[in-house]
Structures are given as structure tokens and as C-alpha cells.
Amino acid sequence: MGLFQKRTGVKVGGGESGLGITRKYNLLPGRSYVVEESPPDISFDAFVNILSSAGQGAETSVGLAVSRQHPDLIRQKYGLEKTPIYWLATRAGQDVISPTNLGILTHTMIQFVEANPSGIILLDGIEYLVSNNDFNKVLRMIDQVNDHISQSKAIMIIPVDPRAFEQKELALLERNMEKIASRTKPG
């Protein structure tokens, strides 16, 4: 457990407030969702919408984003001020998680769910995680976090570019999660 002692805890941001937005996504608590899309526009829109509509009969108000995109870019594009955002990158720094350190990533997300049983996690960059690790290791990490999600009222959203995976890998990813199909923009 010495590996995890460096991080004292997951940053807990307050809810994104004052936006007065109506919830337009009906994602159920205790579930994880795979959103087949590229770029991850619907996933981010759902994440921000759920955070922004909290307090209008919706429980989820605290979020955690883990992304391959730089946190400053995400904050600017989506107006997230209080939400903790971790960057998947190989450089060292605050709020950076190495894509090869699945243990820290898993611990961070599980710790967030335990501290925020009605929270929402966005895990963007699964293709990057798989390119830096074995697919089965990433799948085990997602399944482990999903077990914690299932025992809480938390929600996890994972955008996936279906072009980056074999059919068998997509089937394994979707096995214990809800699938949301979307259009993939040609690139």
C-alpha cells in the first residue's frame, strides 16, 4: 500500500452551481456508461449537464474528470470551475496521472466514489490508457471501479472511439455497462 500513500486524498470540488440548467440526460445512479463517439462531445455534454443541473431534484452534484485533454482546455471549453480534473500525461505535475500507473488511477476514482456516493466520473482517454498498457489490465481497472459505482449512486461515463478497438474488446467493455451509441465524426 506504500504506493498510494503519496496521495492524501482526492480533491473534492463543490458542485458547479448557479447555472440553472435543466437536466437533459437521464443517466441512472449506480451505472456506468460506454459512449461510442469521437470526439467525446456527448460524454462531456452529459457530464457538464448533470453537474450543472444538480439541485433541481437531481442528486449528483460533484464530479471528477480524468482526461487526455489538458485541464485548462476542458475548464475553458465547458466552464468547469470547481470540478477536479486529472490529466492523463507522461509529464510530472500536480493533477497529472501517468497513463502507465493504473494503480493510482484506480485508487483515485474509487476514493472519489467512496467520498461522493452520488458523484459522477468522466473517464476520457481509454484509447490512450490501452496504448500504454495491456487492454486486459485497463478492462480490469474499469471493472474494479464499476464495482464501486454499482454499490453507490454514482455514475461513470466512458467515451470510446469504436474505431480504436476490435469488436471483441468493445463487447468486453460493454459487458457490465450501458452502451450509448453515437455518430463518430469522420476523421
151-175 per-position pLDDT tens digit:
999 999 999 999 999 999 999 999 9
DSSP 123: E
Q: pLDDT tens digit string along 74-130?
A: 999 999 988 999 999 999 889 999 999 999 999 999 999 999 999 999 999 999 999
Inform me whether the pLDDT recorded for 35 exceeds 70.
Answer: yes
DSSP 4: G
Which cell goes with 89?
Answer: 500525461
DSSP 80: -
Euclidean distance between CA atoms 119 and 14, whole angstroms? 11
pTM for this predicted structure? 0.84
Euclidean distance between CA atoms 157 and 19, whole angstroms? 21
CATH number for the region 30-184 comes to 3.40.50.300
The pLDDT of residue 173 is 92
Euclidean distance between CA atoms 114 and 133, whole angstroms? 26
CA angle 154, 35, 150 (to 5 degrees): 25
For residue 35, which phi and psi values (nearest 5 degrees)? -110, 110
Q: CB under 8 Å to 33, separation ≥6 — which residues?
A: 27, 155, 156, 157, 158, 177, 178, 179, 180
